[in-house]
Amino acid sequence: MTRVVVDLAVARHLADIAVAHYRRAGGRPVSLRGHLYPAGKK
């Protein structure tokens, strides 16, 4: 159970970073796939 909570916290943290990058890059979010797999968008 604790593991799931930690994973959710990390996922939310990465999502916040991704959103910040998208806002700085163009102010418009990319596709949901790029959101779920940010490593593939490098």
Q: What is the pLDDT of residues 17-42, one digit of tens each?
A: 888 887 777 755 555 555 555 554 44
- Do residues 18 and 35 make contact, with C-beta atoms less than 8 angstroms apart? yes
Is-contact 5 25, C-beta < 8 A? no
Kindly report the number of other CB atoms within 10 A of residue 41's CB atom: 13
Q: How much is the pLDDT for 29?
A: 54
Is the Cβ–Cβ distance between 34 and 41 less than 8 Å?
yes
| Predicted pLDDT of residue 12 | 92
pTM above 0.85, yes or no: no
